[in-house]
Amino acid sequence: MGREEMEYKASSSAEPCYTEPKSRVAEEKRPPLVFPTTRYMLWVLSKLLHHGFFGMIISVALTLVSFFAKIALSVLGGRVTDLIMRLISWFLGRGGNATRVTSVSFVNFLDDNFEIRGTGFPVHSNTLTATNAEVLILASKLAYENMSDWVRVVTQVWEMEWVAGYSFEPQGTQVFVFKHKTAIVVAFRGTEPFNLFDWLVDLETALKAPQGSDKNPDRALLGNMHAGFYDALMTPPNSCRSIPWYRLINADGIATEMGLLDESRTPYDIVRDRVMEELRCDKDLYVFVTGHSLGAALASVFCAHLLVDDDPENLVKPRVQWLCTFGQPRTGGYKFARFLDCAASTRMTSMIGDDGKLIGFRYLRFVNNNDIVPRVPPPVRFSHSPCFVFLNELGYEEVDCETEGLSIAGVIVDEVMSRCLRTIQLPLNCVQDLASFNLMKPIVRFVVYLLPNLIYNHFPSEYERVIRGCPDPYFDEDQWVETTWQVPLLG
């Protein structure tokens, strides 16, 4: 079966649909070095103590690294970091390509190319198509890069329309929004390895139940959620911070520092309001939400609240079409996972578009082979929606029972077998590289060899590679067999 594609009418408007509140405008730059206030230090200390002895040791180490890194960045203006990443890009033979970013992040150091190879996005169908999956994994991957690169890649490389980007403090939550034809995409950034606040969010493994209110009484239906993920998106700004609590990135790539306009407005409220304004201006738009790792968890929390919150205009709920996550950790309890699963299964069978095609909400959770992140936190108090798309070198498999595909024991066995195979392949491949006078690839191969699969498989570039059906450039090149998808799920 071929992939279904629809013809679209590009919407145009002479006036912008949405105007942000008045604020002071400044070029995007790092805030000056600000020493924490006493209240802020006590807040960090309470976070450290909450994680227990081992968590506290890890958090203290990360705190020291982050503290000295922030001093270095404040004094040197980030020039050293940019220089190192540029040297890495040069060392790997990159640069001079418009589809690449100017300063590659650590997460994307293996592949900083953001070229879209498919055409026809978006495809409005309940089946998973390669076109949609490719754009959404690239958006999740792009979220790790500099905010100025967000705008350039979306507008110049992808030739899509920029809506807005946001960086929230002190939560550290970053998200950008863009649209193309009949899709508006909301992409959340995942965990930056050297960002202290991202790790504090990840380690806050207590469960928190949202309380219903007069405005949104149905939030109680969501059940318990990971406290760190919930607070990062649903908690009002911390007024003790002396720097602006969020920045808005406009279409010109300039960051606007926004003040504490209203402490009752959460990051979720701000992003949702912007999406709603775009939906009011264009009745043909449908919402696609995506993210990788921590961004995947934030995407699921965001999408769940979109589906449950009061919508008197009937503007948002019928037009939330795709929640597509990559490497998502367990985000909530059984009730939360069941809510998303039921929302997808119910609406898939009940919504018919104006053209007679089935259009509903689809929750697609990708797990790449031995990726460890979808297997944590342990399934004691946390749960996943049972259905997910399992990726490996041979293609995909739709699994309808979490315990069948996310076994830790299976990961350990596969890791041992893979380590043995790579140990044999590494010297042979390196000899071939040197024979062809490629002196850099053996070093990259060795770096990849040192990474266990449970980490290597978590990189967004690995999700992108398997979704596109490309061979591993470092191992198993000769063993790769091209596969053809039998149904229009991938490709």
Strands (E), 316-400: 320-326, 362-368, 388-392, 395-399
For the chain, the domains span: 35-77, 93-401
Determine the pLDDT at residue 73: 46
Terminal Cα-to-Cα distance of the chain (whole angstroms): 10
Residue 211 CA neighbour count, 13 Å, CB half: 3
Which one has a higher pLDDT value, 69 or 320?
A: 320
Please choose, from the candidates 364, 363, 373, 375, the residue with its C-alpha nearest in 3D space to the C-alpha of residue 405.
Answer: 375
Instruction: Please compute the mean of the pLDDT values over residues 448-458 and round it to a whole number.
Output: 87
Side-chain-side CA neighbours of 257 within 13 Å: the count stands at: 12
What pLDDT, on the 0 to 100 scale, is given for residue 112?
Answer: 77
What pLDDT score does 205 carry?
80
Whole-angstrom distance, CA of residue 177 vs CA of residue 251: 11
% of the chain at pLDDT higher than 90:
26
SS3 281: helix
Q: What pLDDT does 416 receive? A: 83
Nearby residues of 8 by Cβ (< 8 Å), 6 or more positions away? 181, 182, 284
In which element (H, E) is residue 276 found? helix 267-281
Q: Hunting for tokens 């053996």 — which residue is that?
A: 442
Q: Comparing C-alpha atoms, which of 175, 200, 195, 172 is closest to residue 186?
A: 175
pLDDT at residue number 147: 85
CA distances from 164 to 12, 154, 172, 237, 254 (A): 17, 11, 17, 19, 11
Position 99 scores a pLDDT of 55
Asked if 272 and 306 count as a contact pair (C-beta separation under 8 A), the reply is: yes
Q: How far apart are CA 189 and CA 77, in angstroms?
A: 23
Structure tokens at 59: 């958090």
**Which CATH code for domain 93-401?**
3.40.50.1820
Orientation angle between helical segments 267-281 and 294-308, nearest 10 degrees: 60
Residue 305: predicted pLDDT: 94
pLDDT digits (tens, 9 = 90+) for 305-363: 999 998 888 889 889 999 999 999 999 999 999 999 888 776 544 444 444 444 578 89
Q: Return the residue matching tokens 């404040």.
A: 74
Considering 254-268, 294-308, 396-410, 430-444, the range whose residues carry the highest mean pLDDT is: 294-308
pLDDT at 430 exceeding the cut of 90? no
Supply the pLDDT for residue 272. Answer: 95
* pTM reported for the whole predicted model: 0.77
- Condensed to tens digits (0 to 9), the pLDDT of residues 365-393 reads 999 988 989 988 888 888 888 888 888 76
pLDDT for residue 8:
39
Does residue 461 carry a pLDDT above 80? yes
Among the ranges given (19-23, 42-46, 242-246, 473-477), the one the predictor scored with the smallest mean pLDDT: 19-23
pLDDT in tens, 185-231: 999 999 888 776 777 788 878 888 887 777 888 888 899 999 889 98
pLDDT at position 56, please? 53
Q: How far apart (Å, rounded) are the C-alpha atoms in residues 135 and 158?
A: 9
More confidently predicted of 416 and 285? 285
Query: Minimum mean pLDDT among 4-13, 148-157, 261-270: which range?
Result: 4-13
Summarize pLDDT for 16-57 with one digit per residue, the tens: 444 444 443 333 333 333 334 444 444 555 555 554 555 555
Percent of the chain with pLDDT over 70: 65
Residues in contact with 289: Cβ distance below 8 Å, sequence separation at least 6, in sequence order: 185, 186, 299, 302, 303, 306, 320, 322, 323, 324
- Answer whether residue 448 shows pLDDT above 70: yes
Per the model's pLDDT, the better-predicted residue between 470 and 409 turns out to be 470
